[in-house]
Chains A and B, each alone.
Chain A
Amino acid sequence: MSHGLDTGPAIAAIDPDTPDFLKPLAHALLRINGAMVALGMVALLIASCVLTYSVVSRYVMKASTDWQDEAAVFCLVGATFLCGAFVQSLRGHVGIEAIAGLLPRALNRLRVVFVDLMCTGFCAFFAWKSWTLFHEAWVDGQTTSSSWAPPLWIPYGLMALGMSLLSVQLLVQLSARVNGFFKKPQEARSAARSTEATS
Chain B
Amino acid sequence: MSMLLLGSLFGVVTLLFMFSGAPIAFALGSVAVLFMYFFMPASALDTVTQNVYEEMASITLLSIPLFILKGAAIGKSRAGQDLYAAMHVWMGRIPGGLGIANVFACALFAAMAGSSPATCSAIGSAGIPEMRKRGYSPGFAAGIIAAGGTLGILLPPSITMILYAVAAEQSLGRLFLAGIAPGVLLVLLFAGYAALRYRKEYVLAEAEYKRSGAASALLAAETFTRREKFEMLPRVVPFVLLLIGVMVALYGGFATPSETAGLGALLALLLIAVIYGVWRPKDVAPILSSTLKESTMLMFIIGMSLLFSYVMSYLHISQAAAEWIVGMQLSKWVLLASVLLMVILLGFFLPPVSIILMTAPIILPPLKAAGFDLIWFGVLMTIVMETGLIHPPVGLNIFVIKNIAPDIPLNDIIWGVLPFVVLMLLAVLLICIFPGIATSLPDVVMGAVASPAR
| Chain A interface (Cβ < 8 Å from any Cβ of B) | 1-6, 37, 40-41, 44-45, 47-52, 54-55, 59, 68-69, 72-73, 76-77, 79-80, 83-84, 86-88, 90, 92-101, 111-112, 114-115, 118-119, 121-123, 125-126, 129-130, 132-133, 155-156, 159
The answer to whether A84 and B300 have CB atoms under 8 Å apart is: yes
The answer to whether B352 and A49 have CB atoms under 8 Å apart is: no
Whether a CB of chain A sits under 8 angstroms from the CB of B319 is no
A73 proximity list for chain B (CB < 8 A): 57-59, 62
Question: Given the interface contacts A77-B56, A96-B18, A115-B20, does A1 sit within 8 Å of B353 by beta carbon?
Answer: yes
B24 proximity list for chain A (CB < 8 A): 93-96
B46 proximity list for chain A (CB < 8 A): 129, 132
| Nearest A residue (CB) for B394 | A98
| Nearest B residue (CB) for A156 | B53
The answer to whether B22 and A125 have CB atoms under 8 Å apart is: no
The answer to whether A133 and B66 have CB atoms under 8 Å apart is: no
The answer to whether A54 and B259 have CB atoms under 8 Å apart is: yes
A90 proximity list for chain B (CB < 8 A): 293
Whether a CB of chain A sits under 8 angstroms from the CB of B247 is no
| Complex Cα spacing A119 to B153, Å | 30
Whether a CB of chain A sits under 8 angstroms from the CB of B425 is no
| Complex Cα spacing A94 to B300, Å | 10
The answer to whether B285 and A52 have CB atoms under 8 Å apart is: no
Partner of B26, one of A50, A69, A119, A132: A119
Further pairs besides A37-B292, A73-B59, A101-B21: 15, Cβ < 8 Å: A2-B114, A3-B115, A4-B116, A4-B121, A44-B291, A47-B65, A48-B261, A54-B259, A73-B62, A79-B296, A80-B65, A86-B296, A92-B293, A96-B19, A119-B22
The answer to whether A133 and B259 have CB atoms under 8 Å apart is: no
The answer to whether B259 and A55 have CB atoms under 8 Å apart is: yes
The answer to whether A83 and B353 have CB atoms under 8 Å apart is: no
A47 proximity list for chain B (CB < 8 A): 62, 65-66, 262
Partner of B261, one of A3, A51, A88: A51
The answer to whether B48 and A97 have CB atoms under 8 Å apart is: no
Q: What is the distance, in angstroms, from B284's C-beta to the closest C-beta of chain A?
A: 8
Partner of A83, one of B292, B352, B400: B292
B269 proximity list for chain A (CB < 8 A): 48
The answer to whether A72 and B292 have CB atoms under 8 Å apart is: no
Partner of A4, one of B75, B262, B349: B75
Most buried by B among A3, A73, A133: A3
A125 proximity list for chain B (CB < 8 A): 33
The answer to whether B349 and A48 have CB atoms under 8 Å apart is: no
B153 proximity list for chain A (CB < 8 A): 1-2
B294 proximity list for chain A (CB < 8 A): 2-5
Question: Given the interface contacts A4-B117, A77-B56, A94-B24, does A87 sit within 8 Å of B159 by beta carbon?
Answer: no
The answer to whether B48 and A129 have CB atoms under 8 Å apart is: yes
Partner of A115, one of B22, B56, B265, B400: B22
The answer to whether A2 and B116 have CB atoms under 8 Å apart is: yes
B160 proximity list for chain A (CB < 8 A): 1
The answer to whether B62 and A52 have CB atoms under 8 Å apart is: no
- What are the interface flags for B19-48 relative to A under an 8 Å C-beta threshold, 1 for contact and 0 otherwise? 111111111011001000000000001101
The answer to whether A2 and B349 have CB atoms under 8 Å apart is: no
A112 proximity list for chain B (CB < 8 A): 21
| Chain B interface (Cβ < 8 Å from any Cβ of A) | 17-27, 29-30, 33, 45-46, 48-50, 52-53, 56-59, 62, 65-69, 71, 75, 113-118, 121, 152-153, 158-160, 163, 249, 254-255, 258-259, 261-263, 265-266, 269, 285, 288-301, 349-353, 385, 393-394, 396, 400
Going nearest first, the 10 A-B pairs with the smallest beta carbon separation are A51-B262, A100-B21, A93-B23, A2-B115, A4-B117, A1-B352, A41-B288, A76-B62, A119-B26, A83-B296
A41 proximity list for chain B (CB < 8 A): 285, 288-289, 292
Partner of B20, one of A2, A3, A55, A114: A114
The answer to whether A122 and B21 have CB atoms under 8 Å apart is: no
| Complex Cα spacing A63 to B144, Å | 48
The answer to whether A2 and B71 have CB atoms under 8 Å apart is: yes
The answer to whether A2 and B396 have CB atoms under 8 Å apart is: no
The answer to whether A72 and B258 have CB atoms under 8 Å apart is: yes
Q: What is the distance, in angstroms, from A1's C-beta to the closest C-beta of chain B?
A: 4
The answer to whether A72 and B59 have CB atoms under 8 Å apart is: yes
| Complex Cα spacing A187 to B396, Å | 35
The answer to whether A119 and B23 have CB atoms under 8 Å apart is: yes
| Complex Cα spacing A70 to B22, Å | 33
| Complex Cα spacing A86 to B292, Å | 9
| Nearest B residue (CB) for A97 | B21
Question: Given the interface contacts A44-B65, A155-B53, does A3 sit within 8 Å of B22 by beta carbon?
Answer: no
The answer to whether B26 and A80 have CB atoms under 8 Å apart is: no
B263 proximity list for chain A (CB < 8 A): 48, 51-52, 55
B289 proximity list for chain A (CB < 8 A): 37, 41
| Complex Cα spacing A55 to B116, Å | 28
Partner of B293, one of A45, A48, A87: A87
Q: What is the distance, in angstroms, from B239's C-beta to the closest C-beta of chain A?
A: 17
The answer to whether B20 and A87 have CB atoms under 8 Å apart is: no
The answer to whether A93 and B297 have CB atoms under 8 Å apart is: yes
The answer to whether A55 and B22 have CB atoms under 8 Å apart is: no
Most buried by B among A1, A40, A123: A1
| Nearest B residue (CB) for A65 | B259
| Complex Cα spacing A132 to B43, Å | 13
| Complex Cα spacing A155 to B289, Å | 21
The answer to whether A98 and B75 have CB atoms under 8 Å apart is: no
Question: Given the interface contacts A90-B293, A94-B351, A118-B30, does A52 sit within 8 Å of B59 by beta carbon?
Answer: no
Sampled A-B contacts (5; CB under 8 Å): A37-B289, A95-B20, A118-B22, A119-B22, A122-B29
